[in-house]
Amino acid sequence: MRASSTTRQSDVDGGAGDGAPPRTGPERAPDGVLAARSRGRTTTDRTGGAAAVAWSAVLTVAAALLTVLLALAGRYGPHRDELYFVEAGRHLAWGYPDQPPLTPLLARAADLVAPGSLFALHTVAALAVAGTVVLSGVLAAELGGRSSAQVLTAVGVGTGAVVVALGHILSTATLDLLLWTAITYAVLRVLRRDDARGWLVVGLLGGLGVENKLTTALLLVAVALGVLLTPPVRHHLRTAWFWGAAGVVALIGLPAVLWQASHGWPEVTLAREIRLENVTVGGRVGYVALVLVLLGPLVTAIWVYGLVRLWRVPALGAARPFAWAFAALFVLFLGTGGKGYYLVGLLPVLVAAGTCGLVERWSVPEARRAVVILAVVGAIAWPASLPLLPARGYDGSFYAAMNADQAETIGWTPLVRAVDGAATVGHATAIVTANYGEAGALDWYGAPVPVYSGHNGYGGWGPPPGATGPIVLVGYDTAPDWASGCRTVARVDTGKGIDNQEQGASVMLCAGPAGTWSDVWPRVRHLDA
Q: Inform me whether the pLDDT recorded for 446 exceeds 50.
A: yes
Q: Inform me whether the pLDDT recorded for 34 exceeds 70.
A: no
- Taking the C-alpha atoms of residue 452 and residue 125, their distance in angstroms, rounded to an integer, is 27
Q: Report the amino acid identity of residue 251.
A: L
Three-class SS state of 178: helix
Please compute the mean of the pLDDT values over residues 213-224 and round it to a whole number. Answer: 97
The full DSSP string for 252-274 is: HHHHHHHHHHHTT-HHHHHHHHH
In sequence order, what are the beta bridge partners of 501?
A: none
Please compute the mean of the pLDDT values over residues 50-69 and round it to a whole number. Answer: 95
Contact in structure between 310 and 319 (CB atoms under 8 Å): yes
Q: Inform me whether the pLDDT recorded for 23 exceeds 70.
A: no
Q: Inform me whether the pLDDT recorded for 150 exceeds 90.
A: yes
Contact in structure between 442 and 83 (CB atoms under 8 Å): no
C-beta neighbour count of 49 within 10 angstroms: 20
Q: What is the pLDDT of residue 406?
A: 87
Q: Which of 416, 381, 414, 435 is nearest to 496 (CA)?
A: 414
Q: Inform me whether the pLDDT recorded for 209 exceeds 60.
A: yes
Contact in structure between 121 and 111 (CB atoms under 8 Å): yes
Q: What is the pLDDT of residue 17?
A: 52
- Span 237-295, pLDDT tens digits: 999 999 999 999 999 999 999 999 999 999 998 988 888 877 788 888 989 999 999 99
C-alpha torsion sign, points 7, 12, 18, 24: positive
Q: What is the pLDDT of residue 500?
A: 80
Where are the strands (E) in 105-181, listed by range?
none
Q: What does the DSSP 8-state code read for residue 464?
A: P
Please compute the mean of the pLDDT values over residues 435-458 and round it to a whole number. Answer: 95
The share of the chain scoring above pLDDT 90, in percent, equals 74
Please compute the mean of the pLDDT values over residues 94-100 and round it to a whole number. Answer: 95
Q: Report the amino acid identity of residue 292.
A: L
Q: Inform me whether the pLDDT recorded for 20 exceeds 60.
A: no
The share of the chain scoring above pLDDT 70, in percent, equals 90
pLDDT top residue among 427 and 279: 427
Q: Inform me whether the pLDDT recorded for 110 exceeds 70.
A: yes
Q: How confident is the model at residue 10 (pLDDT cuts 50, 70, 90)?
A: very low
Q: Inform me whether the pLDDT recorded for 314 exceeds 80.
A: yes
Q: Which of 97, 85, 101 is nearest to 212 (CA)?
A: 101
Q: Which of 349, 380, 6, 421 is nearest to 180 (CA)?
A: 349
SS (H, E, C) 348-409: HHHHHHHHHHHHCCCEHHHHHHHHHHHHHHHHHCHHHHCCCCCHHHHCCCCHHHHCHHHHHH
Q: Which of 208, 527, 215, 202 is nearest to 341 (CA)?
A: 215
In sequence order, what are the beta bridge partners of 99?
A: 96
Q: Which of 306, 352, 300, 317 is nearest to 142 (CA)?
A: 352
Q: What is the pLDDT of residue 37?
A: 31
* Length of the chain measured in residues: 529
Contact in structure between 109 and 323 (CB atoms under 8 Å): no
Please compute the mean of the pLDDT values over residues 304-313 and round it to a whole number. Answer: 96
56, 390, 419, 491 from 488: Cα distances, Å: 60, 32, 11, 8
Please compute the mean of the pLDDT values over residues 146-172 and round it to a whole number. Answer: 95
- Taking the C-alpha atoms of residue 186 and residue 199, their distance in angstroms, rounded to an integer, is 8
Three-class SS state of 432: strand
Please compute the mean of the pLDDT values over residues 176-181 and round it to a whole number. Answer: 98
Q: Mean pLDDT lowest for which of 26-30, 285-289, 310-314, 366-370?
A: 26-30
- Taking the C-alpha atoms of residue 118 and residue 124, their distance in angstroms, rounded to an integer, is 10
Contact in structure between 487 and 478 (CB atoms under 8 Å): no
Q: Mean pLDDT lowest for which of 6-10, 205-209, 247-251, 387-391?
A: 6-10
Q: What is the pLDDT of residue 502?
A: 86
N- to C-terminal Cα distance for the chain? 45
In sequence order, what are the beta bridge partners of 430?
A: 471
Q: What is the pLDDT of residue 142?
A: 96
Q: Inform me whether the pLDDT recorded for 8 exceeds 50.
A: no
**Does the predicted model carry a pTM greater than 0.75?**
yes
Task: Annotate 243-280 with b (16+ C-beta within 10 A) or e (fewer).
Answer: eebbebbeebbebbbebbeeeeebbeebbeebeeebee
- Taking the C-alpha atoms of residue 254 and residue 260, their distance in angstroms, rounded to an integer, is 10
Cβ burial of 502 (10 Å; 0-12, 13-18, 19+) is buried
- Span 336-345, pLDDT tens digits: 888 899 999 9
Three-class SS state of 78: coil
The full DSSP string for 207-258 is: HHHHTT-TTHHHHHHHHHHHHHT-GGGGGGGGSHHHHHHHHHHHHHHHHHHH
- Taking the C-alpha atoms of residue 336 and residue 334, their distance in angstroms, rounded to an integer, is 6
Q: Which residues have CB under 8 Å from 522's CB, separation 6+?
A: none
Please compute the mean of the pLDDT values over residues 378-400 and round it to a whole number. Answer: 84
pLDDT top residue among 498 and 243: 243
Q: Which residues have CB under 8 Å from 55's CB, separation 6+?
A: none
Q: Give 239-244 contacts, CB < 8 A, sequence gap 24+.
A: 239/196, 239/199, 241/196, 241/197, 241/198, 241/199, 241/200, 242/196, 242/199, 244/199, 244/200, 244/203
- Span 520-529, pLDDT tens digits: 999 999 999 8
Q: What is the pLDDT of residue 166?
A: 96
Q: Inform me whether the pLDDT recorded for 118 exceeds 80.
A: yes
Q: Which residues have CB under 8 Å from 101's CB, separation 6+?
A: 92, 93, 94, 95, 211, 256
Phi, psi of 463 (to 5 degrees): -85, 170
Query: What residue segments make up the domains of the chain, in order of their start?
Result: 55-383, 410-524
Q: Which of 179, 178, 198 is nearest to 188 (CA)?
A: 198
- Span 372-385, pLDDT tens digits: 999 999 899 899 89
